[in-house]
Structure formats: C-alpha cells, structure tokens
Amino acid sequence: MRTTKQLSITLPNEMAEQLKQRVATGAYASESEVIREGLRALFAQEDAVERWLRTEVVQSIEEMRADPSRAISSEDMRAHLAELRKQYEVDRRS
C-alpha cells in the first residue's frame, strides 16, 4: 500500500519560482520536498500556538476569574501599548 498521495496544486508565480529556486540551488532534492518541509513547519507552528492557548492563555483567564482585581482597563492597556510603541520608535532610531 502506498504511503504517499499525489496532489496537484496551484501556486502564485512568485511562490512557484521561489520553490524552483530552492530545488535549483540544491537546498532540496525536489519540489515535493520543499512543500513537505513547509507543511511540517506550518503544522509545528499551529501545534505551538495550540499549546500556548491551552496552557498560558487558559491559565491567565482562570487567574483573572479567580482574582478580577488583577485586570486592567482597556484605557490603561491602550496607554501601556502606546508607551511601548513610543519606546520602540526611540530605540529604533538609536
């Protein structure tokens, strides 16, 4: 029994050219190998986000429900983010 399945895909021209370049440089043996590696990276990223949501985000929500005084207002959050952005701009110019 086969362990692979042949598919036909359509890519934008730029992506198709980048895929072919990776094979041409010898970084990958075939176009299929490039696609498989990309899918492995996508699946790993999705798994990491799912783990983060289930652990850290759920834990934070449960902590907030247990002690609502830890929450900050949306206005305070906006001010905090604006300050972070301002600092980022200053650091970037330095």
Instruction: Give the global pTM.
Output: 0.65
| Residue 70 confidence (pLDDT) above 90 | no
* Three-state DSSP class for residue 7: coil
> What is the torsion angle, in degrees rounded to the nearest 10, for the CA atoms of residue 16, residue 17, residue 21 and residue 23?
30
| Domain extent listing, the chain | 13-93
Angstrom distance (rounded) from CA 34 to CA 13: 16
Number of H helices, E strands in the chain: 4, 0
Q: Quick: pLDDT tens for 1-36.
A: 889 999 999 999 999 999 999 999 999 999 999 999
